[in-house]
Amino acid sequence: MQYHYEALHMAALEVGISTEEWEWFVQGTSVKEIPRGTTLIRAGERVQHAYFCIQGCFRLYYTLPDGKDFNVAFTLEQDYATSYAAMVSGAESPYTIEALEESAVIVIPYDALLHFMEASHHWERFVRKAVERLYIRKEERERELLCLSALERYEAFLHKYPGLENRIPQYHIAAYIGISPVSLSRLLR
């Protein structure tokens, strides 16, 4: 199967990255197929890469002390999957990232990304825009969990991830909105 960098390339063009800079980026990255059920990043591991999803779906989740999983986000096509804070700080990832479907990612080594940013203010802008989107989503998610009812959190999920309810099991949605699968079934009735 052939994968392309088009979506990421379009974002790069928007911030003024030149053809030469883009080719440099492509040479410093790679494409990797990720089978369904594969762990991309495991909680407790050091994070060396950012991943841009070309195809598929990932869940980012914490495992609670009682063994239950709590999904904090999903990454779909044309979006990033990584533990950014762990990558930048050199700390261990606090959560796991798992492929829920057959997926493909662009693997972006953090060292290469730092090199790109040091060499070009265009790459700094590119990364800043990506981090801003991540921060906005994190803030929205925090507000949802603290201020919305279960039904409102479900509606926010549908709005944020249109069509995802048809691609993943309901128990993953329940783990995302912070209720049991049984409660979600009741809520949907």
pLDDT tens figures, 137-155: 999 999 999 999 999 999 9
How would residue 113 be classed by pLDDT, with cut points 50, 70 and 90? very high
22, exposed or middle or buried, with CB in 10 Å at 0-12, 13-18, 19+?
A: middle
0.85 exceeded by the pTM? yes
In angstroms, the first-to-last Cα distance of the chain is 41
| CATH architecture, domain 1-121 | Sandwich (2.60)
Residue 152 pLDDT: 97
Q: For residues 101 and 33, what is the distance between their CA atoms, to the nearest angstrom?
A: 11
Cα–Cα distance, 23 to 19 (Å, whole number) = 6
Are the C-beta atoms of 4 and 55 separated by less than 8 Å?
no
The span from the CA of 57 to the CA of 42, in Å, is: 16
The predicted-structure confidence for 11-27, as pLDDT tens digits, reads as follows 889 999 999 999 999 99
pLDDT at position 128: 93
- Write the single-letter amino acid at 126: F
**Can you list the alpha helix ranges (DSSP code H) found in the chain?**
6-14, 19-28, 84-89, 110-119, 121-147, 150-160, 170-177, 181-188
Return d(Cα 53, Cα 59) in angstroms, integer. 12
Closest to 172 in 3D by CA, of 2, 36, 25: 36
Predicted confidence (pLDDT) per residue in 34-48, tens digit: 999 999 999 999 999
pLDDT at 1 over 70: no
Q: Return the domain boundaries, the chain.
A: 1-121, 133-189
Asked whether the CA dihedral 153, 159, 160, 162 is positive or negative, the reply is positive
pLDDT tens per residue across span 49-96: 999 999 999 999 999 999 999 999 999 999 999 999 999 999 999 999
Order the strands of the 103-109 sheet from edge to edge.
Answer: 30-34, 103-109, 49-55, 79-81
The whole-chain average pLDDT of the chain stands at 94
